[in-house]
Structure 1
Amino acid sequence: MNRSRIVAALGGAAAISLALAGCSGGGSGGGGSNTLTIEDYYQANYDPIYKDCAGQVGAKVSINHIAGAGLIAKVLQQASSKTLPDVLMLDNPDVQQIAATGALSDLKDYGLSGDGNVDGVTKAGSYKGTLYGLAPVTNSIALYYNADMLKAAGITPPTTWDELRAAAKKLTDPAQGVYGFAMSNINTYEGTWQFLPFFWTNGGDEKNIATPEAAQALQFVVDLQNDGSMSKSSITWAQADVNNQFIAKKAAMMINGPWQLPALNAAKGLNFASIPIPVRESSQKIVSPLGGETFTVPNTGSKDKMALAGKFVGCLNSEKMQPKIAQVSGNVPSNQKVADAWAKTHEQVASFVTTVKTARARTAELGEKWPTAATAIYTAVQLALTGKETPAAALEQAQQQNK
């Protein structure tokens, strides 16, 4: 996400499949060089990780960082022109869409599997039962709170919706411009990503988003706004904006991810902690969306290069490398055993380690059709929060898009 970034639906899948079917060789993996080309939307702080694994598998690396918004368009162009990189990073919701074009190879061909990983990680990297991508680290979202504000108000961190609503109302101070709660309800996939814990945990289903359970979840978010506990500006806030509100102490609690920790830790005088997002009933288990980027081995036509790329992806996903990547990214190791050990020494991500155990891949139910549902969901949230429709009516209207 992203790290919560979810890429829009891809077009031209059939055309790409035909182009790949006619590929008998070439691509970026051609030739006898042991240099692997890597493509991602990360920044240069990942380069030492790549060079570490390259050294371990006897390779060199040529790294190409692409802006996130342009990565998928670039991949589609590369697939049609047979110039795919040797190692391709994809946001996990994009794996199924790209795999459907025939652009990716089966990771089991390189002896790789998702054994030991959080279940959602393997599902997110799979398409029609075949594993195409593995994520060394993963993430989700949790409830951050300003510990000093809660203590001053005599509030225990909330674990249920009722507790969250009551706490948010008590922590709101209009005179100081302070809201008790903040989340992103923007009309992009970030808005869907942040609403999903309420939607899924309460029994919402993306095959039919217009259910009483979904309406109940959306009504809860509307109630937070109507109470005055959540700013009406949340419909325009991305997750970074929400984080800025929290850092400025204009929001006492917020929903956000572990990728915000560097900024939070750098903020002077900010005493914060996080817990899993509250649920409607204490008997419920939180179901949040699973974030994180996967590494894949594209079909370049060069079996030797693809085998070397497979070793490289295996190195990135090893139990040895996952903590190193978690340290760089602020995310959670995907291997359950490694994640549990990581939480013991990294208290700030403990809530995320708990959350990802029951987190769900966004493409788990609808596969490559997920973006249509994601659009319908954030559309419903916008309609309800702007008062154009009731939550139930907003969901009914948005469901018409979700066909």
Structure 2
Amino acid sequence: MITTKSARVIGVAVLAAAVVGGTAACSGSPSGGGSTAGGTYTLWDPYPDRDASSDWAKAIDKCAGDLGITIKRTASNTGDTVKDLTTASPNLPDIALVDNPKVATLAAAGLLTTTADNGLDVSSIQENILTAGQIDKKTYGVPVGANTLGLYYNPAVLQAAGVDPSSVKDWASLTDALKKVVAAGKKGITFSAVGTEEGSFQFLPWFWGAGGDLTKLNSSEATTALSTWTDWVKQGLAPNSVLQNTQGTSWDEFKTGDFGFAENGSWFKADADKAGYKVIQLQKTDGGAAPAPTGGEFITIPVQKDTSRYATSVKITKCLTDGDAGANALGYIAPTKAGQDAQLKADPTLRFWVDAVADAKPRTADNLGVKYGTISEQLYTAVQAALSGSASPADALATAQKNVDAKSK
């Protein structure tokens, strides 16, 4: 997701049950050849809201204890972490956690090692989420875990409107359900179409679900997706507030009990469970699960003058990713099967989100790398233009592609 402090805090509650009973410990013994010779290693992360008493800090401390080293942790906000990394060279930390679309930016700047450089084995990492850390077949980082989007619904609202949630299998049946909900006196669907990365993040399941390709923003498939959102707003099936909604304010709208559906993330699972809301996967236009984008941070190993440090950095990385320790501490689905199995054993209700992450797709997939930032900016700008009525979906996307092409020259 596009993580915020509040969303992260909620996300931790999602997996709270999985942390109980000591699962903050690393799974198995550290791997990576040879014994760890002690010393101090530095780790930067974007979680200033997680102090020394947090599950995340405890997971790091546990790894340090198991490895016989000291890990000096520095936390700052997401944007600050990336900015600090770009200005810290050659004094880079041993480990850095960054939002997954930023891996490409740091790799392009020459700040990150590849797995060929550092010797990290990524064979156990779920392939579809690993691609966010890959550029030109080189791997620059691994996910500590992942989250994604689903289609929540309010059973009471749907029942009153005569809507069977199992009938929602594609966009046509969803639109039909929205019309029934509105006819029954409630509101259809809420989501975030704000003019930021959050807007792109929430539009991508529809874009990809229609068969869209991020290198062709002006395709007929992309127009189909944007026309669907635009028609919902025009017909009153989605409120005008989606233009300003963040994912948090969209969730607040849904919690009023006035809406039948809400597109939102796994980080709201605990809140949804408490309220009795249910969730289904977002659909492709003609049916089947649409790929939703993956959110979450990647653990990277920045370039060091002393390359002998990489061996221990690899051990730290594996300690935080091999099992469920790091993912539980951050409220994510684990990136490995072993980690997911442990989470499901502790909380079987996570099955939906484990499956959703398996169907998800990183935003920088298809080898987009640093191009994604420009594409995303033009995409959410086009969404804003179409939903506000200042341009037709086709014209808004044509302008978006024209601007992407101009900036890539």
Q: How does 1:269-284 map to 2 (within 5 A)?
A: 270-282=275-287, 284=288
The letter for the 1-side match of 2:292 is S
CA–CA distance in 1 between the matches of 2:38 and 2:338? Answer: 36
In structure 1, the partner of 2:320 is: 316
Give the C-alpha shift of residue 343 in structure 1.
Answer: 4.3
In structure 2, the partner of 1:26 is: none
Identity score, percent: 30
CA–CA distance in 2 between the matches of 1:216 and 1:114? Answer: 37
In structure 2, the partner of 1:373 is: 375
Q: The residue matched to 1:52 in structure 2 has which SS?
A: helix
Change (3 A) 1:64 1:88: same
Change (3 A) 1:237 1:211: same
The letter for the 2-side match of 1:350 is R
Counterpart among 277, 288, 313 of residue 292 in structure 2 = 288
Counterpart among 282, 299, 310 of residue 303 in structure 2 = 299
CA–CA distance in 1 between the matches of 2:95 and 2:124? Answer: 23
Q: Which runs of 4+ in 1 moved over 4 A?
A: none
Corresponding position: 1:362 with 2:363: yes
Indicate conservation of the 8 Å contact 2:119/2:311, yes or no: no
In structure 1, the partner of 2:389 is: 387
CA–CA distance in 2 between the matches of 1:205 and 1:4? Answer: 27
The letter for the 2-side match of 1:387 is G
Q: How does 1:1-400 map to 2 (within 5 A)?
A: 1-3=1-3, 34-42=39-47, 43-44=49-50, 45=54, 46-79=56-89, 82-157=90-165, 158-172=168-182, 178-265=186-273, 270-282=275-287, 284-319=288-323, 322=324, 324-336=325-337, 338-339=339-340, 342-343=343-344, 346-365=347-366, 366-400=368-402
Q: The residue matched to 1:138 in structure 2 has which SS?
A: coil
CA–CA distance in 2 between the matches of 1:346 and 1:252? Answer: 26
Change (3 A) 1:348 1:402: farther
In structure 1, the partner of 2:12 is: none
Q: The residue matched to 1:281 in structure 2 has which SS?
A: coil
Indicate conservation of the 8 Å contact 1:142/1:351, yes or no: no
What's the C-alpha RMSD, in Å, of the aligned pairs? 2.2
Give the C-alpha shift of residue 296 in structure 1.
Answer: 0.9
Indicate conservation of the 8 Å contact 1:190/1:239, yes or no: yes
Q: Which moved more, 1:147-156 or 1:182-191?
A: 147-156
- Structure 1 unaligned regions, length at least 5: 6-31
Q: Which moved more, 1:330-339 or 1:340-349?
A: 340-349
Give the C-alpha shift of residue 347 in structure 1.
Answer: 4.6
Give the C-alpha shift of residue 86 in structure 1.
Answer: 1.3
Indicate conservation of the 8 Å contact 1:288/1:360, yes or no: yes
Change (3 A) 1:339 1:225: same
Q: The residue matched to 2:101 in structure 1 has which SS?
A: helix
The letter for the 2-side match of 1:361 is P
Change (3 A) 1:56 1:310: same
Give the C-alpha shift of residue 314 in structure 1.
Answer: 1.3
The letter for the 1-side match of 2:170 is T
The letter for the 2-side match of 1:76 is T
CA–CA distance in 2 between the matches of 1:313 and 1:262? Answer: 28
CA–CA distance in 2 between the matches of 1:218 and 1:343? Answer: 36
Indicate conservation of the 8 Å contact 1:148/1:271, yes or no: no
CA–CA distance in 1 between the matches of 2:302 and 2:290? Answer: 35
Give the C-alpha shift of residue 4 in structure 1.
Answer: 8.2
**Cα deviation 1:115-149 (Å, max 9, x = unaligned):** 13322222111222222111131111111111222
Give the C-alpha shift of residue 198 in structure 1.
Answer: 0.7
CA–CA distance in 1 between the matches of 2:200 and 2:350? Answer: 23
Change (3 A) 1:168 1:300: same
The letter for the 1-side match of 2:327 is A
**Cα deviation 1:226-282 (Å, max 9, x = unaligned):** 2212110101111011111122223331111111234445x5xx1112111122112
Change (3 A) 1:394 1:359: same
Indicate conservation of the 8 Å contact 2:132/2:363, yes or no: yes
Q: The residue matched to 1:98 in structure 2 has which SS?
A: helix
Indicate conservation of the 8 Å contact 1:138/1:292, yes or no: yes
Scaled by the length of structure 2, what TM-score is found?
0.83
Scaled by the length of structure 1, what TM-score is found?
0.85
Change (3 A) 1:75 1:238: same
